[in-house]
Amino acid sequence: MSAVIEVRGLRNQFGSQIVHENLELDLLRGEILGVVGGSGTGKSVLLRTLVGLNRPQAGSVHLFGQDLLTLAGEPRLALARRLGVLFQQGALFSSLTVSENIALPLIEHAGLSRPDASRLAALKIALVGLPASAGAKYPSELSGGMIKRAALARALALDPAILLLDEPTAGLDPISAAAFDALILTLRDALGLTVFMVTHDLDTLHAISDRIAVLAGRRVLVSGTLAQVAATDDPWVRDYFHGPRGRAAASGQPPPRTHPT
């Protein structure tokens, strides 16, 4: 498979804090790549760099063979329209209804009229499994799971080729999280999407990831299938993939609970 995103020699630094140094990563066409790492390893910083919200101090980011860091003007906007982003907390505009949130990029970036954008927004609402009545609701009127789906509908508004997800199942109960995982897998297969997913959810990694990349030591420590990554001789990898929760996710059983004595 060809790479739709190629990251080479990436360095992200904020003041004296170096988050990434010589980081290299490929996102392959049609895959779901799960990105994991301990706190402070820069998972969300990497995602923001890929969508152009953070400019690195060194390195290159190529999307579909084009250098994201040197593009400007309309070519840069055209490339950005091929990306759909689901932020961790949804990031819906609180003063707009769900339908208006989805219609906004269609009006601003695709140049659709409001009636046409509203009709297309209704299709996106149905696509992510929300009832039609959700379109008239404000974010404050939605459950956590509905907010995730509404934000996903907005991410899909411009028919992107790449979907970037930041902790998509965070805060969801196990049933809602499993349903969201199934939705991502269905949409990937139906729409031909490529998915870059930052997550800490072991169940999600086991359920839908084709490959996993582990961030550690300011770089990608290892990337490969779950089995390949889990076999890596590294303390964090061992604790993460072979601890109680990792074993439970692999077996499909709930993790053992400890009881106070």
Specify if 228 maps to a domain: no
CA distance 162 to 5: 9
Specify if 125 maps to a domain: yes
CA–chain centroid gap for 62, Å, is 18
pLDDT band with cut points at 50, 70 and 90 for residue 210 = very high
Instruction: Please give the pLDDT value at position 248.
Output: 58
Instruction: Please give the pLDDT value at position 245.
Output: 62
CA distance 237 to 36: 10
**Nearest Cα to Cα of residue 61 among 104, 98, 27, 100:** 27
Burial class of residue 117 in the structure, from the number of CB atoms within 10 Å of its CB (0-12 exposed, 13-18 middle, 19+ buried): buried
Mean pLDDT over residues 66-95, rounded? 89
Number of Cβ within a 10 Å radius of residue 82:
15
Between 80-94, 135-149, 185-199, the lowest mean confidence (pLDDT) is in 80-94
Specify if 145 maps to a domain: yes
Specify if 147 maps to a domain: yes
CA distance 216 to 32: 20
CA distance 243 to 141: 38
pLDDT at 200 over 80: yes
Average pLDDT of every residue of the chain: 91
**Nearest Cα to Cα of residue 85 among 112, 52, 60, 121:** 52
pLDDT at 257 over 60: no
Mean pLDDT over residues 126-152, rounded? 95
Q: What domain range includes position 121?
A: 92-159
pLDDT at 95 over 90: yes
Instruction: Please give the pLDDT value at position 258.
Output: 43
Specify if 117 maps to a domain: yes
Mean pLDDT over residues 36-53, rounded? 92
Specify if 108 maps to a domain: yes
CA distance 63 to 4: 6
- Residue 146: strand, helix, or coil: helix
pTM, to two decimals: 0.90
> Which H or E element spans position 26?
strand 17-28
pLDDT band with cut points at 50, 70 and 90 for residue 190 = very high
Instruction: Please give the pLDDT value at position 247.
Output: 56
Instruction: Please give the pLDDT value at position 244.
Output: 61
Specify if 116 maps to a domain: yes
**Nearest Cα to Cα of residue 150 among 176, 186, 126:** 126
Specify if 107 maps to a domain: yes
Instruction: Please give the pLDDT value at position 77.
Output: 87
| Number of domains present in the structure of the chain | 1
Mean pLDDT over residues 164-191, rounded? 94
